[in-house]
Amino acid sequence: MDMRLRPSGNSGLLVSSLHAFREYQLKEAWTWEHQALVRARVVAGSPALGERFRAVRREVLGQPRDEAKLKAAVVEMREKMRSHLGSKPGEHDKTAQFDLKQDRGGIVDIEFLVQYLVLRYAAELPALLRWTDNIRILASIEAEGLLASDEVELLREATRPTARRVTARACRIAPACWARRRCATTARGVAALWRRLLEE
């Protein structure tokens, strides 16, 4: 857990009340913090407190949003991440490697697409807020008709092996890169979906 990502950064409190958390999320939080809240879930503690947290999560994520502003904020944050963490031009020319997590069409693009759709449509389609993992959120997105079945299947199939490889890298078992030829078609499909949903 990166404690620098808490509200107010390094100067913020390590722990806050649920009331303070709600106020921050409704009045001060950035879009990327709401993106993170899409994936937030209770893992331990009081069941009553857990239900109160889920109610705050539903309230925050279920707010109506300006589509153009939301798109701009999501794209801006993703470009910032890609410029710092993705492959640089020419970086993998010799080995023709593709960073499964950070490069265009990789797992972070999929996560951002899922988070964008939840934030954009949850006010109208609260069923999108039931789950916190991408696979089941994608099932909800398909059920609500926001993406076609083949588009959801593309994202689902791209997520599964990629997530395993990224997890292995985090455990220092394997690099989170594959030969570009192994994932070029899938990455192009994800990138095309990104352009259609967020850049057109």
Residue-wise pLDDT for 79-112, tens only, equals 998 888 766 655 545 456 777 788 888 899 999 9
Supply the DSSP string of 140-169, one letter for each residue: HHHHTTSS-HHHHHHHHHHHHHHHHHHHHH
Q: Which two tokens stand for residue 29?
A: 């939080």
> Residue 147: pLDDT above 50?
yes
Q: Is residue 5 part of a domain?
A: no
> 3-state DSSP call for residue 103?
coil
- 90 and 106 co-located in one domain: yes
Model confidence pLDDT, tens digit, residues 25-57: 999 999 999 999 999 999 999 999 999 999 999
pLDDT of residue 7: 66
Asked if 132 and 173 sit in the same domain, the reply is yes
Q: What is the pLDDT of residue 171?
A: 45
The partner residues of 177 in beta bridges, in order of sequence, read 99
Is residue 3 a part of any domain in this protein?
A: no
Cα distances from 144 to residues 58, 118, 139, 150, in angstroms, run 17, 11, 9, 14
Q: How many Cβ atoms are within 10 Å of 145's Cβ, its own excluded?
A: 8
How far apart CA 199 and CA 193 sit, in angstroms, is: 10
Instruction: Judge whether 178 lies within some domain.
Output: yes
Q: CA 44 from chain center: how many Å?
A: 23
Give the separation between CA 163 and CA 131, rounded to whole angstroms.
18
Q: Which two tokens stand for residue 76?
A: 């801006």
CATH of the domain at 121: 1.20.120.330
Q: Specify whether 19 is located in the same domain as 54.
A: yes
Q: Which of 46, 61, 76 finishes a domain?
A: 61
Whether residue 121 is contained in a domain is answered as yes
Q: What is the pLDDT of residue 33?
A: 95
The residues that bridge with 97 in the sheet, in sequence order, are 179
Residue 175 and residue 96 share a domain: yes
How many structural domains comprise the chain?
A: 2
* DSSP 8-state secondary structure symbol assigned to residue 199: I
Chain segment 151-186, per-residue pLDDT in tens: 999 999 888 755 555 554 554 445 555 555 556 788
The reply to whether 80 and 52 lie within a common domain is no
Position 6 in a domain: no
What's the pTM?
0.84
Domain that holds residue 80: 67-199
Going by pLDDT thresholds of 50, 70 and 90, the confidence category of residue 200 is confident
Residues 41 and 78 in one domain: no
**Does 103 lie in the same domain as 83?**
yes
